[in-house]
Amino acid sequence: MCYLLHYCFIFLKGTKRKTMKHIISLFRQGLTATLVLLLLSQNSAGQAVVGLDNWFNRETHAKTGKPFHYLWSDTEWSGYSRWGQIFESRGASLSTIEKPLPQVLKGIDVYIIVDPDTTTESKSPNYIMPDDIKAIKKWVKKGGVLAVLANDGPNCEFTHLNQLMASFGMRFNHVRLHPVTGTNFEMGASTDFIDHPLFKDVSKIYIKEVSDIRLSGKAKPVLTENGKVLIAEARYGKGYVFAIGDPWIYNEYIDHDRLPDSFQNRKAAENLTDMLLGYTGKPIVLQEVSKDETMEAMVLANKYFMELWPDVGKTIVTERERPSNIWTRGTYYEGLMALYKLKPEQDYLDYAVSWGEFHKWGLRNGIRTRNGDDQCCGQTYIDLYLMDKTRSERIRDIKACIDNMVTTDKIDDWSWIDLIHMAMPVFSRLGYIYNDHRYYDRMHEMYLYTKNVHGDNGLYSTTDHLWWRDKDFDPPYKEPNGEDCYWSRGNGWVLAGLVRTLEFLPDNSAYASEYIATIKEMTDALVACQRPDGFWNVSLHDPSNFGGKELTGTSLFVYGIAWGINNGILDRGRYLPVIQKAWKGLVEECVHPNGFLGYVQGTGKEPKDSQPVGYDNVPNFEDFGLGCFLLAGSEIYKLK
């Protein structure tokens, strides 16, 4: 607790009296010093800027010729994109630093140098020269926070790096410790930790092939093994220096893509991030919306809609008139039911039941329809039946409709990907209710036909792991920038459809592995193209094509990823910052004071449809965007 209080005192220097009273109350409530740090940001203007070196480490990819390796922008195993997300989740902004000139360093609070190049990594390395050392030393002395992550002997340029590190009482030795053979990860395990904030709630970390550090002066060891210092720190003037002889927490070894679950590199990375930011004296603001705020946003947005549409049977009039049991309203009621399960208000239930009763639990175009858009309402009909199984009329028509599809050989109905959301979960629900594998089998056949056959070779890209909306958008169709056209909401429909299907699959289903694998592939592809503000563009691979904030696709991605975390499919540590940033954007940027939702792209099938999208722009349908928002919020609310 002493070191936590120490960082609090660093952070709280100059804090206003009113804020101090709030801090004391937080401690009395039992919050730790770390949480107080994360919750409060009253003492300084602006957030911390974290600069990652791309001058001394300047490797280029052999095939693309572009910079890579230990960069924020590198989302492969070789990159630091995941560590960057941790910094951003604390409210910091990221920067990539070329030569560390004094005027450049003046604009950042944390400077990270990783694995300076040898001549085998770069034909003309940028060595750390005396003018660089002078500028960095002066910057640290004034309060800068320097983190140096070197490498093992053969892979790091130590001669010039050690000239810098000697200023802080440290020198890396040209050795290789912790050699690891194959997947024998225990060879890289460290478990003997001192009482230090880096190791708070950490029992084991993984460090592969590391150099040790010789200390002098005021430098102190943080991790020592067999007399060898692997991690060290030093205070220099008003600043702080952290050092480790390995790049350590790059994407490959921060999570459990490869590492066994027993390793806690993610937690250690979070601790390191809090340490570095704490020493800057800048505010650390946890980038998440509280449960209360999440619920308030959902309730407010839903209240706005229910008051706008008090008559559940009123037809929807845009360019033409439609009944209120079409897919747009069905999607809304999916969200309403998710909200009701968290906040069981009678008004919510009555609103849903009245809707079904008005339509006599029927479908637009009747039980002979094969159009998934007509069947979407059946998801809520079934959910309401499951709440009262004496009301068999609630599923009479949707069952008859799906039975008509099961008894034929036709499996090509889902020719656009939206239908994976509209119809697929209906099949899984009926399979669950009647314990009838025929619903699961037909559902899976239709899904695979969409994925692998429709269009030229299916609507799923096995390289980009995203979906083309329909046959009109698979190659050779291209976006204005030459990339494939992956429409945000279309991919959101797929992700939402898969998780809503999995909810009702048997535990031993042979089909679950296919859906889970696709969810994982899609999630990684989506993370790679998330906007800095947390949203996703309507065109996932062409930000110039009507790029900007958009609610529906973003909400569906948050829903699917959060569901994956809540159900143990997706790694919490890796993906939680992604959805926290997105949900924060949705709540803070889209929800009007009266509950109206901005940045909703209206109906369509591609990025250019229903434009412009904006904060004050009213979409042609206000229902389905709210449904997407409520689905997202419901899963965010469940996060532990």
One-letter amino acid of 69: H
User: Whole-model pTM above 0.75?
Assistant: yes
Q: Which helix (H) or strand (E) holds 380?
A: helix 377-387
Residue 17 in this model has a pLDDT that exceeds 70: no
pLDDT at residue number 13: 39
Region 476-483 average pLDDT: 97
- Name the band, by pLDDT with cuts 50, 70 and 90, for residue 60: confident
549 closest CA partner among 528, 533, 526: 533
Q: CA-CA distance, 170 to 13, in Å (whole number)?
A: 29
Q: What does residue 321 show for φ and ψ, rounded to 5 degrees? A: -95, 135
The answer to whether the beta carbons of residues 384 and 353 sit under 8 Å apart is yes
pLDDT of residue 40 exceeding 80, the answer is no
Confidence at residue 8, expressed as pLDDT on a 0 to 100 scale: 46
- For residue 22, the model assigns a pLDDT of 40
pLDDT for residue 121? 86
pLDDT digits 0-9 by tens, 553-609? 999 999 999 999 999 999 998 999 999 999 999 999 999 999 999 999 999 999 999
CATH number corresponding to 291-638: 1.50.10.10
Dump pLDDT digits (tens) for 142-172: 999 999 999 998 899 999 999 999 999 999 9
Across the range 75-104, mean pLDDT stands at 94
The residue among 410, 343, 304 whose CA lies nearest residue 626 is 304
12 — pLDDT class (breaks 50, 70, 90): very low
Question: HSE on the CB side for 311, CA within 13 Å?
Answer: 5
pLDDT at 25 over 90: no
Give the per-residue pLDDT at 30.
44
Residues sharing a CB contact under 8 Å with residue 284, sequence separation 6 or more, in sequence order: 11, 37, 38, 41, 48, 90, 91, 92, 274, 277, 278
> What's residue 9's pLDDT?
45
**Whole-number Å distance between alpha carbons of 396 and 393:** 5
Instruction: Domain ranges for the chain, please list them.
Output: 1-43, 46-280, 291-638
Counting every residue written for the chain, the total comes to 640
Would residue 595 be called left, alpha or beta, if left means φ above 0 and alpha means ψ between -120 and 50 degrees? left
Burial of 87 (0-12, 13-18, 19+ CB in 10 A): buried
- Count each helix (H run) and each strand (E run) in the chain, helices first: 22, 13
CATH code for residues 46-280? 3.40.50.880
Confidence grade of residue 18 (pLDDT, cut at 50, 70, 90): very low
What whole-number distance in Å separates Cα of residue 536 and Cα of residue 554?
6
**Taking residues 326-339, what's their average pLDDT?**
98
Beta pairing class for 228-236 and 239-244: antiparallel
Mean of per-residue pLDDT scores for the chain? 92
pLDDT the model gives residue 287: 72
- Residue 283 pLDDT level (bands cut at 50, 70, 90): confident
Is the distance from CB of 559 to CB of 499 less than 8 angstroms?
Answer: yes
Asked if pLDDT for residue 436 goes beyond 80, the answer is yes
CB 29 within 8 A of CB 36: no
Query: Which letter does DSSP use for residue 259 in this model?
Result: S
Question: What whole-number percentage of the chain has pLDDT above 70?
Answer: 93
Q: How confident is the model at residue 122, as a pLDDT? A: 86
Between 91 and 46, the more confident residue is 91
pLDDT, tens digit (0-9, with 9 covering 90-100), for 199-242: 999 999 999 999 999 999 999 999 999 999 999 999 999 999 99
> What is the amino acid identity at position 19?
T
Q: State residue 516's pLDDT score.
A: 98
What are the DSSP E strand ranges found in 30-71? 49-53
Convert the pLDDT of each residue in 499-517 to its tens digit: 999 999 999 999 999 999 9
Query: Which band of pLDDT confidence, cut at 50, 70 and 90, is reported for residue 63?
Result: confident
SS3 (DSSP) at 392: coil
Q: Are 373 and 424 in contact (CB under 8 A)?
A: no
**3-state secondary structure at position 109:** coil
Rounded Cα distance between 264 and 286, Å, is 20
